[in-house]
Amino acid sequence: MPAQVISGKILSKEMREKMANEVLEYQSKGYRLPHLVVILVGDNPASKSYVSGKEKACMEIGIKSTIIRLEESTTEEEVLALVNKINLDDDIDGLLVQLPLPKHISEDKVINTISIDKDVDGFHPLNVAKLHLGEECLKPCTPKGIITMLKSANIEISGKEAVVVGRSNIVGKPVAQLLLDNNATVTICHSRTKDLKEVCRRADILVAAIGKPRFITSDMIKEGAVVIDVGVNRLENGKLCGDVCYDDMLDIASYITPVPGGVGPMTITTLLENTLEIYKAKVIK
Ligand code: GUN
């Protein structure tokens, strides 16, 4: 049987409709709108495009979004002062500083300055610590979205062998933690892993977050595996492709996520979910 496609696009649409209705309901009860602020420094084209996507998604479901676009030459002090000001603004629920930042601004310092209660990305060290301690916290969007996708397809995680390829702080490490929280047996692979193919072939659930186009080939996958492709790679012809050889997997995998239309839309949907979660905890009595 060919692999079933887990569409992040369709799932996102359903989740966003539900969230839009929730926002309408709160509005009709007289509550203010949820509010997300995004800070974008400089003019990195990929970042600009991601930020526009986030703005559009907020608009779609009735979340107020404010995009603060700052010049490349903005100083670290100016960014930190802005973050501090937003932290104190009770009418702002979520704050996201788009990465990467220009070289003269310390990403660590900026992330450390964001209030942990407004940290919709779940990047603040205290939220990271809470995630790894199993405490309630804001969870990073891509990993959380992946778990939502697996659950939406009724894929059993408990007791399964999960292999994560990639060890970034944004995806690899947190998704491994969330899979572990769901009782998977988790292996994290990276560029120094020996016998990568053999390790990947053990996976019941494989998460590819390497950032190399079509890196995961069909001989690296076990028959019936669930394949989650986090990669967003732009090819020379301008097309997007994932970290997985998608077409070759269709006869081997049991489930697969497409690129585009898979994990990407779910990352943004989870950002909306996190913003709403903060809003509800703060505003709804
Ligand atoms: N740049 C690439 N991905 C992300 C993300 O998830 N959050 C932020 N803030 N910046 C990013």
For 68-88, what is each residue's pLDDT tens digit?
Answer: 999 999 999 999 999 999 999
Residue 284 — very low, low, confident or very high, per pLDDT cuts 50/70/90?
Answer: confident
Nearest CA to ligand 1 atom 11: 99
Higher pLDDT, 165 or 1: 165
Q: For 227-261, how does the pLDDT look when each residue is reduced to its tens digit (9 = 90+)?
A: 999 999 999 998 999 999 999 999 999 999 999 99
**3-class DSSP state of 41:** strand
Cα separation of 62 and 271, whole Å?
Answer: 14
* CB 148 within 8 Å of CB 12: no
Cα separation of 266 and 276, whole Å?
Answer: 15
pLDDT averaged over the chain? 97
Q: Where are the alpha helices (DSSP H) in the chain?
A: 8-28, 45-61, 76-88, 107-113, 125-133, 141-152, 172-181, 196-200, 246-249, 263-283
Mean pLDDT of 163-188: 98
Residue 186 — very low, low, confident or very high, per pLDDT cuts 50/70/90?
Answer: very high
Residue 271 — very low, low, confident or very high, per pLDDT cuts 50/70/90?
Answer: very high
**Residue-wise burial string across 90-122, b where 16 or more C-beta atoms lie within 10 A, e elsewhere:** eebbbbbbbeebbeebeeeebbebbbbebbbbb
* pLDDT over 90 (residue 285): no
Among 96, 119, 124, 173, which is best to mutate for testing ligand 1, by the most ligand atoms less than 8 A from CB?
A: 96
Known catalytic membership, residue 282: no
Query: What pLDDT shows up at residue 97?
Result: 98
Query: What pLDDT shows up at residue 43?
Result: 95
Q: Using CA of residue 225, residue 231, residue 200, residue 206, what is the dihedral sign?
A: negative
Nearest alpha carbon to residue 93 among 275, 267, 274, 268: 275
* Catalytic-labelled residue, pool 98, 144, 204, 243: 98
Cα separation of 127 and 60, whole Å?
Answer: 28
Residue 203 — very low, low, confident or very high, per pLDDT cuts 50/70/90?
Answer: very high
Query: What pLDDT shows up at residue 218?
Result: 96
Nearest CA to ligand 1 atom 4: 99
Burial (CB count <10 Å: 0-12, 13-18, 19+), residue 245: buried
- 221 Cα: distance to centroid of ligand 1 (angstroms): 29
Known catalytic membership, residue 98: yes
Q: Which residues line ligand 1 (CB under 6 A)?
A: 96-99, 121, 141, 170
Nearest alpha carbon to residue 170 among 232, 81, 91, 89: 232
What is the token pair recorded at 207? 């998460």
Cα separation of 261 and 277, whole Å?
Answer: 24
